[in-house]
Amino acid sequence: MRPTVDFYFDFRSPYSYMAYSQLWRMDVEINLKPMLVLKVMEQVGNVPTTLICSVKARYARTDLGRWAKRYGIPLNPADMKAVDGEGCLRAVLAAPSAADAATITEALYRACWGEAKALSNKDEILAVIAATGVDAAAVGARMDTPEVIAALESTTNEAAERGVFGSPTMFVGEQMFFGNDRLDFLREELARFTE
């Protein structure tokens, strides 16, 4: 049986894009946990330093370029202030199946971080989903429902309760790994399942 990784993420996080580009290539079950990272940070007393510190923001742009080159993935970000990040998260939660949710997650990450697509409204989000072959009409019919809105609130609260303070955060069992740069530690933990 393949080990499971709980992946707490927000599309607004470029390091989550980096982490997911590698995570889905591992021999693991990925339990997608969309969350509103700014609400999680507020709940746990963290602050988004790359948003409030221009020096760190400049460094992060260079750092992201290095990671994208290492992973062989495109880095051409949209204006993330214009992206409907919450709509993207709800689209994942509205997916007809776990496999569709994974496809949607990969496509939306690629669109907003690799292809500079605005994704500023529901129609733009659903257009990206439709191009994957997932039933975009079914996703569109569910993504604004009270059930899906409540599910996003639930995973956001769950993240804070588990000690998440940023995106991406991954769990193997109760072992927590924060950040794209902790994937080697995650791999070491996963290796214990094959010993």
pLDDT tens profile 139-179: 999 999 999 999 999 999 999 999 999 999 999 999 999 99
Query: By C-alpha distance, which of 1, 19, 9 is closest to 159?
Result: 9
- What's the one-letter identity of residue 102? A
Give phi and psi for 124, each to the nearest 5. -70, -40
Q: Taking the CA atoms of the chain, what radius of gyration do you get in angstroms?
A: 16
In 10 A of CB 18, how many CB atoms? Answer: 25
Q: Is 34 helix (H, G, I), strand (E, B) or coil?
A: strand
What are the tens digits of pLDDT across the range 111-140?
999 999 989 999 999 999 999 999 999 999
The two three-digit tokens of residue 155, written as one number: 């995973």
pLDDT at 53: 80
Neighbours of 104 (CB within 10 A): 25
Mean pLDDT, the chain, whole residue set: 94
Look up the pTM and report it: 0.95
**pLDDT of 195:** 61
Residue type, position 124, single letter: E
**What distance lies between CA 183 and its chain's CA centroid?**
15
Of the candidates 155, 163, 170, 160, the one whose C-alpha atom is nearest the C-alpha of residue 42 is 160
- φ and ψ at residue 194, rounded to 5 degrees: -110, 0
- Which DSSP letter does residue 82 get? T
Average pLDDT over residues 79-91: 95
Contact (CB, 8 A) for 5 and 170: yes
Q: What pLDDT shows up at residue 171?
A: 97
How crowded is residue 194: how many other Cβ atoms within 10 Å of its Cβ?
A: 8
